[in-house]
Amino acid sequence: MTNTEYEDIDVHEDLTDSQKSEVLLEMLPWLQEFAGSLVVIKYGGNAMVSEELRACFAQDMVFLRQLGLHPVIVHGGGPQINEMLHALGIESRFKAGLRVTDEETMNVVRMVLTGKVSRELVGLINSYGPYAVGLSGEDGGLFSAAQRMPIVDGHSVDVGYVGDVVSVDTRAVDDLIASHRIPVVSSVAPDEEDATQVLNVNADTAAAALAIALGARKLIILTDVEGLYANWPDKDSLVGEIGAETLRDMMPELESGMRPKMEACVRAIDGGVGEAHIIDGRKKHSILNEIFTTAGIGTMVAKGEGMQLRKKAKTQ
């Protein structure tokens, strides 16, 4: 190795040799615990905010695969859809956290998710190792959806071509996992009543449905906050752990952005997924911190009742 190459490597001078060893040793039991496990990761559009963060995410996916886990990604792209709609002079409207989707908007959603966000993510992961393969809920009959009518102020409202996943045929994803690929799934799904009509599925909802159907060990949702705040926006109320029953009771009071996310976590737990996590996608390598450290990060949703706030870290 030449000196020039050596200078290019980040040698983490801020850690002593013994601290580096401690970090590696802390990973060991978690590596043993999760080797061979299937983990569904929902990568939200708001967690894709910088080139550096996107690169770290891509690197983490390849790292997980090399360590023997099976990562399956469901990506979002809300802000990217908003941007494209704005460029086309179309207004973005949401009800209960779901995009009001007419035919014109549906075309833009499909184009941005499958034609832009998925392509860029697959390309970036493959720059670290040629494992990622993109597919949408339309491919190989992966998802079938029915129109979703969210409840607003006690009434169900029509938000247009918005769907909820009603069935999942995992075979296309199973094949990719069996060949050690990293599936990258876009949340667009055919209507169960007319497969030529596509529906816009919230990516958190799609990730939960896929995690349940695949029997995932964990569902990890990356977003743009540290986790769920019990008393939003009070930053001292970050939840460390919460039971699905307690979360279900909290649901009506949650604001729109968090609502589909928390519904997805509760559904995942009800459907047999071991744990669901909401973590901060704005922090580099947050997934590695969640899976391979004892304290974990963000909010964990598990079976049962109760809630514990997260203790403040001594150093950041």
Ligand X SMILES: CC(=O)N[C@@H](CCC(=O)OP(=O)(O)O)C(=O)O
Ligand Y SMILES: Nc1ncnc2c1ncn2[C@@H]1O[C@H](COP(=O)(O)OP(=O)(O)O)[C@@H](O)[C@H]1O
Our CB check for ligand X shows the closer of 76 and 298 to be: 76
* Exposure class string for 160-173: b at 16+ Cβ within 10 A, else e: bbbbbbeebebeeb
Does position 114 interact with ligand X (CB under 6 A)? The reply is no
Does position 77 interact with ligand X (CB under 6 A)? The reply is yes
Helix%, strand%, coil% for the chain, nearest 5: 40, 25, 30
Cα distance between residue 310 and residue 301, in whole Å: 13
Whether the bond between 233 and the residue before it is cis, its omega within 30 degrees of 0, is: yes
Picking from 174, 204, 209, the residue whose alpha carbon sits closest to that of residue 42 is 204
Lookup: tokens for 110:
């499909």
The H or E element spanning position 104 is helix 103-112
Whether 216 contacts 267, CB under 8 Å: no
Our CB check for ligand X shows the closer of 28 and 49 to be: 49
Question: Minimum distance between the CB of residue 99 and ligand X, rounded to whole angstroms?
Answer: 4
Nearest 5°: the CA angle 28, 217, 180 is 80
Does position 186 interact with ligand Y (CB under 6 A)? The reply is no
Whether 279 contacts 222, CB under 8 Å: yes
Query: Could you give the C-alpha distances from 264 to 50, 163, 206, 275, in angstroms and in order?
Result: 26, 14, 8, 12
Q: Taking contact as CB under 6 A, which single stretch among the options 29-37, 39-47, 286-294, 302-310 is the one that binds ligand Y?
A: 39-47
Binds ligand Y by CB under 6 A, chosen from 257, 283, 302, 307: 257
Whether 245 contacts 302, CB under 8 Å: no
Binds ligand X by CB under 6 A, chosen from 71, 76, 137, 298: 76
- 141 labeled binding residue: no
Query: Considering CB distances under 5 to 8 angstroms, the limit depending on partner class, which of ligand X, ligand Y, none binds residue 183?
Result: none
- Residue list 110-149, contact with ligand Y (CB under 6 A): none
Picking from 90, 196, 186, the residue whose alpha carbon sits closest to that of residue 135 is 186
Question: Minimum distance between the CB of residue 187 and ligand Y, rounded to whole angstroms?
Answer: 11
- 78 labeled binding residue: yes
Query: Considering CB distances under 5 to 8 angstroms, the limit depending on partner class, which of ligand Y, ligand X, none binds residue 176?
Result: none
Query: Considering CB distances under 5 to 8 angstroms, the limit depending on partner class, which of ligand X, ligand Y, none binds residue 255?
Result: ligand Y
Does position 81 interact with ligand X (CB under 6 A)? The reply is yes
Cα distance between residue 203 and residue 23, in whole Å: 33
Does position 258 interact with ligand Y (CB under 6 A)? The reply is yes
Binding mask 74-93 for ligand Y (x = CB under 6 A): --x-x---------------
Closest-approach residue to ligand X (CB): 76
Binding mask 57-76 for ligand Y (x = CB under 6 A): -------------------x
- 3 labeled binding residue: no
- 77 labeled binding residue: yes
Does position 137 interact with ligand X (CB under 6 A)? The reply is no
Binds ligand X by CB under 6 A, chosen from 38, 44, 164, 259: 44
Residues tagged in the binding site annotation for substrate:
77-78, 99, 200
